Chain A
Amino acid sequence: MTPLPLAPIVLTPLVVLALATVLTWVERRLLGLWQDRYGPNRVGPGGMFQAVADGIKLLFKQDWVPPFADRGVFVLAPAIGMMTVLLSFAVIPLAAGGIAGNLNVGLLFILAMMGLGVYAVVLAGWASDSKYALLGGMRAAAQMISYEVFMALSLLGVVMVAGSFSLRDIVAAQSGLWFIIPQGLGFVVFLLAGIAETHRLPFDLPEGENELGAGFHTEYSGMKFGMFFIAEYAGIVLVSALATTLYLGGGNGLLLPAPVWFALKTGVIVAFFILLRAGLPRPRYDQLMGLGWKVLLPLSLLNVLATGTVMMLRAS
């Protein structure tokens, strides 16, 4: 029995949480950049301590559970959300293979964690016992479950080309050519599905900041809301890290060491997420579901078909 790698186990959640917190500040500054304004620039140089100030504010807020809510599930839901995201980071080969980067079903594990992540949203909406929260929760459930289908299908293409579910093997298989070239369609489908999974704009109807009160986290305040908030940003980092690992070659690259390349590529995709939020309007719910089932699902099936065909022709 090999000893557990203690340093990555302790460091990874801390680094992920720190990154998610910094990401809130980065997002606000980048949104400001693309909207012809400054983001927060008063609290500390460049406004960097805004996230700290927000965290302190959330900690001092009254931790109120609605009297009409299901108390146990209400408190549990944000914990589930945070837990699934943090667990997914265990199998991503960051610097030196991470905690379990060699897990032979690494990709399946991440898909399973994303499936469990739906529970956080649904339970939050249900336990809040409030109309807006319930609507938000149900919409979130439908959206996340349907987009998970073609996320898995688009990943099938990568698995077929790499020949393994283990993320480290997938990165190793990209040492010649990044998978975005042979799997371009799969990359687009995966990215769209990833945006829907983390319910970011333009797929953020569950939160619906301008509609539905605040969606499934209407009744949440204080640090429970903070946990949902940070879990969402950690999810963005997760999807970007996944896209980097699966399609952009992970840490592969010339000159710079692997963690630096990984950080750069993940950073580009995170910036792209923020650009989507800055630029795109929110589609209606039926347009969103229609896009998923009528466009992305056939495209991902087509991708699997084409990949399989090419592989069979090559093998013969």
Chain B
Amino acid sequence: MLDTLRTLLLTFLHGFHRRATVQYPEQQPYLPPRYRGRIILSRDPDGGERCVACNLCAVACPVDCISLQKTERDGRWYPDYFRINFSRCIFCGFCEEACPTYAIQLTPDFEMGEYARPNLVYEKEDLLISGTGKYPGYSFHHVAGVPIPGKDRGASEHERAPIDLHSLLP
């Protein structure tokens, strides 16, 4: 009986504690920066798209919700269309881990509710943002060896110019 009374006293004292409820939507919950929420496609610091349509994210996805098609302009690959079906996406982050150019990223935003299921299929114009996302200052094309307009072969960072085979100079 006595420990029953003690239980009741402790329960009563809980009435003086602060309540643990977060009054959504007036108060937003704390989301850490690496929270795996809404997926975006980011851009270079120069403004071009980062995505090179390598398909690694579509291959890595466990539920096959990414669909894309490569096309090319001036030697620079980019996706013709890029579609993510968010009714299938499980927000695991495998695509972000697989991407070699830091193009596809998961952001701390979960408010993606829709009334009609077809509205959950996001196209490239819904996914592409105008900034660099979580990784500022990284440009894949500046460190890779692929020649694009404005940068020849051998002009990347940490890369030497190609050796002239027909010259005898060291």
Interface residues of A (CB under 8 A from B): 32-38, 275-276, 278-280
Contact = CB atoms under 8 A, between A and B. Distances in A.
Which range holds the interface residue count of chain B? Answer: 10 to 19
B19 A275 contact: no
Nearest to B7: A279
Contact of B11 (A37, A38, A275): A275
A36 B17 contact: yes
B20 A36 contact: yes
A37 B21 CA distance: 6
23 contacts: A32-B19, A33-B14, A33-B15, A33-B19, A34-B12, A36-B14, A36-B17, A36-B18, A37-B20, A38-B19, A38-B21, A38-B23, A275-B8, A275-B11, A275-B12, A276-B8, A278-B11, A279-B7, A279-B10, A279-B12, A280-B4, A280-B7, A280-B8
Contact of B14 (A34, A276, A280): A34
Contacts of A38: 19, 21, 23
Contacts of B17: 36
Interface of B: 4, 7-8, 10-12, 14-15, 17-21, 23
A278 B18 CA distance: 17
Contacts of B4: 280
Contacts of A35: 14
A37 B19 CA distance: 5
- A-B residue pairs, 3 tightest by C-beta: A279-B11, A33-B15, A36-B20
A33 B19 CA distance: 8
Contacts of A36: 14, 17-20
Q: Which of A32, A275, A279 has the most CB of B within 10 A?
A: A279
A121 B7 CA distance: 30
Contact of A279 (B8, B19, B20): B8
A32 B8 CA distance: 15
Contacts of A279: 7-8, 10-12
Contacts, number: 33
A33 B15 CA distance: 5
B1 to A, nearest CB: 9
B30 to A, nearest CB: 18
B18 to A, nearest CB: 8
Nearest to B10: A279
B88 to A, nearest CB: 32
Contacts of A275: 8, 11-12
A34 B20 CA distance: 12
Contacts of B15: 33-34
A276 B21 CA distance: 22
B117 to A, nearest CB: 27
Given A32-B19, A37-B21, A276-B8, 19 more contacts: A33-B14, A33-B15, A33-B19, A34-B12, A34-B14, A36-B14, A36-B18, A36-B20, A37-B19, A37-B20, A38-B21, A38-B23, A275-B8, A278-B11, A279-B8, A279-B10, A280-B4, A280-B7, A280-B8
Contacts of B14: 33-36
Contacts of B21: 37-38
A278 B19 CA distance: 15
A32 B14 CA distance: 10
Contacts of B8: 275-276, 279-280
A34 B4 CA distance: 16
A270 to B, nearest CB: 14
Contacts of A32: 19
Contacts of A34: 11-12, 14-15
Q: Which of B4, B15, B20, B21 has the most CB of A within 10 A?
A: B15
Nearest to A30: B15
Contacts of B18: 36
A105 to B, nearest CB: 34
B21 to A, nearest CB: 5
A271 B18 CA distance: 20
